[in-house]
Structure 1
Amino acid sequence: MRVFVALILGAALGSCLQIYYGLGSSVLHHTLSVVSIVSYGYVSLLKMIIMPLILVSIVAAIVKVRDTGAALGKISVVSISLLLAMTAASAAIGITMASLFHLDASGIVAGTREIAQGHALQTHLTSIKGLSFTDMIKAFFPQNPFADLAGERPTSTIAVVIFSVFLGLACVRVINQDSKFSQGLESFILSAQEVVRALVHLVLSFTPYGVLALMIGVAANSDANAIESLAHFVMASYLGLLLIVIMHLILVSLVRVNPLDYIKKVLPVLAFAFTSRSSAAAIPLNIETQVEKLGNGDAVSNFTASFGATMGQNGCAGLYPAMLAMMIAPTVGIDPLTPGFLFTLIITIVIASFGSAGIGGGATFAALIVLSAMNLPVALAGLLISIEPLIDMGRTAINVNGSMVSGTITARALGMAEPPRVEDIDELT
């Protein structure tokens, strides 16, 4: 309740500030710069605990499971397959929305900011055209674990997951082979996990204040005129996101999880993802909710939260590139409703979503790869920059929800589900 009160209050305060001072005014800019201290500080604290949480939690989960490669292989295959399958379905939903709303980029007038963004995208395209699918996969592997723990690469999160798996397997081997070290090593790992969990809970206690500050900034900087001129795209996007949520709820119901109960438990995480626009920053909340509220277990929760933040994103890498491609295709004389175009588009989107982390991730980069592969003009993607923050909030929430749905289904399909550890949502914060 505190998270949602902060969400609504932040939106109201941000709107009032914009109405009173005017969009772009110096007073508004100075006010928001002060407010951003809180929002930046909160997101920074969340990012601070991402890598230690992943490292310690995965190692501890492997030590507790002791089923080494077999269980880990099953978790990886099932969770990644689910993420990619949901991304394909999300792309199909995006195609449907673009068709129903008759979205076409031909009639959109580009302003100075949009033209500049289009040129920037065109320039960035030249830097990634040489990247192959195999190059993107190679970028997942860790070379320097200390650099990846510091987040030096776009794929650092996946690299830390892989490093943690190998470290966990090494710990299991030592524990099984030498009883002299087994008790002390296992005790150290589990103690480290509890310390990191306490750190996570300490940071999460600031969630309402962080959400409040984040939402003030989003609401105060929203351009009402741009939203009005692209209202059809905004409406189509959010209707598509709603359909993806319905798809998610149907999927969790197939593994005997009550959809209403599921929504109640994950709403605080989605609220943070909505306001922060960062799947990576939501990883700690994601893992905590999966472990404490959904009972997905440590191993599954850490894997799906980490992989879901960098690949198979339903909103950013599924829905958005599909809608954009459907909008832009008519501008170059392509009928986007031909079966060949639609099939190629969905396959391209799935592949791009799997490798988007290799070039930095995000909706814009995922769309860049898809448009380039489909031989569509990437500069036209800059037309939507004015409403990008508004749509990106919903997309990010859907990305995070997709990873939690993947974790929920994976845990139950593999028989790894555990009883929830917390019954009251407020205990998370």
Structure 2
Amino acid sequence: MLLAGAFLIIMGSLYGLIYLKKKKWAFSKRVVLAMALGIILGLIFNQVLSQADGIILADWIGIVGSVYVKLLQMIAVPLIFVCVLLAFTKIEIKTNVLKVGMTIISTLIVTAGIAGMIGIVTGYFSKIDGNSFNISQTALHSANEIQQNYVAGGEKTLTMPQKIIAIFPSNPFFDLTGQRASATLGVVIFAFFLGVAYLKIKDKKVKEAKLFKDILDSAYEIIMSVVRLFISYAPYAVLTIMIATIVNNDVTAVLKLAQFFAAAYIGMFIMFLIQLAILAICGLPPVRYLQKAFPVLSFSFITASSAGSMPMNIEMQDELNIPRGVSGLAASFATSMGMNGCAGVYPGLIISIVALTQGINPLSPQFLLYAGFIIAMTSFGIAGTGGGGTVATIISLSALGLPVGLVGVFIAVEPLIDMGRTAINLNGGVVASAVTCKLNRIKLSQVK
């Protein structure tokens, strides 16, 4: 009976959001309302429904959100491919494409190192006692297994040179399917060489080059039309994803790790402020930026999907007058390397906690700078492994000679922390775009 009532309430809420759309409510307001309503209903259903009913509810309503994210993921790779090629057809950046790409990568790596140091400082002042956690055999096994696979000689182990090689595609059509760990970067590289070929024939074979450019422009408009169609359904996906996430979440586990959870979000918030400061220096006023970015950031937060958020991210950067080629490169790289949240703040926080258990002062300049460098390099290295926050953390801990067992304890709350990490990752991509435009003298017009 309670389960049936829950379904009716959700259906009524979805109808309400549709009604508000007909009444011309702003898209951002409907997304915020959906998020707030999802949180409230999720908490209520978490308390009144049995575990079995909660699983059934999440499975069925999760269809809406899961299909929506898959649709965005479906269009992400074609969008990246076209956007990268468009970079070569834009006069403003056509002669500096390699410089643009290197600036984006360098910015992501440097900001990941800064984020890592922010995480270390936050972890130190949070006064979390790592020795107070009981590392169960399950947690220890999970951490050790990841370490073995990615660090200590397992089949997935890659040296830094091998990680760089792994980024390059041997079959670009396979990468276009998105099945390989570093498929996104593979698509970018394939598109890069096609773009170079376009520049070589642009002046020699004007007719063919113009046809290529016209096809790209048409393809972009069609793909973005699909993206806008998908995005228009975001409020309904946000509502159902939020409810499904909360209704079956182990609230007790979160409360036990509340201090770590809070420290993680404090660190990410500090890094977010630093990102906003960098954007301001690059000519994007924080208030106006947030007005444009809030729907995208909130969607990435709720879905915890970098790939799923990428189309909205590129569309938003287009509204900020960031060239499509720059935004396409930055958004794609930010999902695979230099991730400010997953490979920056999160590893830094845990490194600080673990270092204190070993009698190491994480704020000593030598340790802080070295750890920041290791985190930055790791944020680039995981591009060849497709690893997330846990993998990045274990690789960094291993490089610093610190034990990894404590990472397994925090896996319990990682899904909730991953929501914030994804938003920070996405924002890091926007920062990389803005810095690239600033350093390459690509003028950003007044935000629309």
TM-score, normalised via structure 2 length: 0.88
Q: Number of paired residues?
A: 418
Give the alignment partner of residue 130 of structure 2, picking from 100, 105, 110: 105
Give the alignment partner of residue 155 of structure 1, picking from 174, 182, 187: 182
Contact 1:121–1:378 under 8 Å retained in 2: no
- 1:32 aligns to what? 58
> Which string of whole-angstrom CA distances, capped at 9 and with x for unpartnered residues, describes residues 140-183 of structure 1?
11210101001121111011011111112223333321234234
Q: Residues 211-226 of structure 1: matches in 2 within 5 Å? A: 211-226=238-253
Contact 2:64–2:236 under 8 Å retained in 1: yes
How far does residue 123 in structure 1 lie from its aligned partner after superposition? 4.3
Is 1:280 aligned to 2:307, yes or no?
yes
Consecutive unaligned residues of structure 2, counting only runs of 5 or more, are 1-28
Q: Distance in 2 between matches of 1:21 and 1:269?
A: 31
> Which string of whole-angstrom CA distances, capped at 9 and with x for unpartnered residues, describes residues 199-230 of structure 1?
11111111111211221122123222222221
- 1:8 aligns to what? 36
| Partner SS for 2:167 | coil
Specify whether residues 398 and 232 from structure 1 end up closer, same or farther in structure 2 by C-alpha distance, changes over 3 A only: same
Structure 2 counterpart of 1:348, one-letter code: I
Q: Distance in 2 between matches of 1:105 and 1:402?
A: 29
> Which string of whole-angstrom CA distances, capped at 9 and with x for unpartnered residues, describes residues 25-47 of structure 1?
11111110001111110111011
- 1:371 aligns to what? 397
Specify whether residues 120 and 256 from structure 1 end up closer, same or farther in structure 2 by C-alpha distance, changes over 3 A only: same
- 2:4 aligns to what? none
Contact 1:83–1:312 under 8 Å retained in 2: yes
- 1:93 aligns to what? 118
Q: Distance in 1 between matches of 2:405 and 2:269?
A: 28
> Which string of whole-angstrom CA distances, capped at 9 and with x for unpartnered residues, describes residues 327-361 of structure 1?
12243454434443323211110100011121112
How far does residue 130 in structure 1 lie from its aligned partner after superposition? 4.0
Is 1:343 aligned to 2:358, yes or no?
no
Q: Distance in 2 between matches of 1:140 and 1:209?
A: 36
How far does residue 255 in structure 1 lie from its aligned partner after superposition? 2.2
Give the alignment partner of residue 381 of structure 2, picking from 350, 355, 374: 355
- 1:18 aligns to what? 46
| Partner SS for 1:274 | helix
Q: Distance in 1 between matches of 2:156 and 2:177?
A: 27
Give the alignment partner of residue 225 of structure 2, picking from 174, 198, 201: 198
Structure 2 counterpart of 1:160, one-letter code: V
> Which string of whole-angstrom CA distances, capped at 9 and with x for unpartnered residues, describes residues 250-297 of structure 1?
111112321111111111111111011121221111111101x21111
Q: Distance in 2 between matches of 1:417 and 1:212?
A: 38
- 1:427 aligns to what? none
> Which string of whole-angstrom CA distances, capped at 9 and with x for unpartnered residues, describes residues 46-67 of structure 1?
1100111011122123123385
Structure 2 counterpart of 1:299, one-letter code: G
How far does residue 85 in structure 1 lie from its aligned partner after superposition? 1.8
Give the alignment partner of residue 316 of structure 1, picking from 336, 339, 342: 342
Contact 2:69–2:303 under 8 Å retained in 1: yes
- 1:253 aligns to what? 280
How far does residue 113 in structure 1 lie from its aligned partner after superposition? 5.4
Q: Distance in 2 between matches of 1:379 and 1:134?
A: 27
Q: Residues 9-158 of structure 1: matches in 2 within 5 Å? A: 9-22=37-50, 25-65=51-91, 68=94, 70-110=95-135, 114-115=139-140, 117-125=142-150, 126=152, 127=154, 130-158=157-185
How far does residue 132 in structure 1 lie from its aligned partner after superposition? 1.2
Is 1:404 aligned to 2:399, yes or no?
no
Specify whether residues 304 and 16 from structure 1 end up closer, same or farther in structure 2 by C-alpha distance, changes over 3 A only: same
Structure 1 counterpart of 2:189, one-letter code: I
Quote the RMSD (CA, aligned, Å). Answer: 2.0
Is 1:175 aligned to 2:202, yes or no?
yes
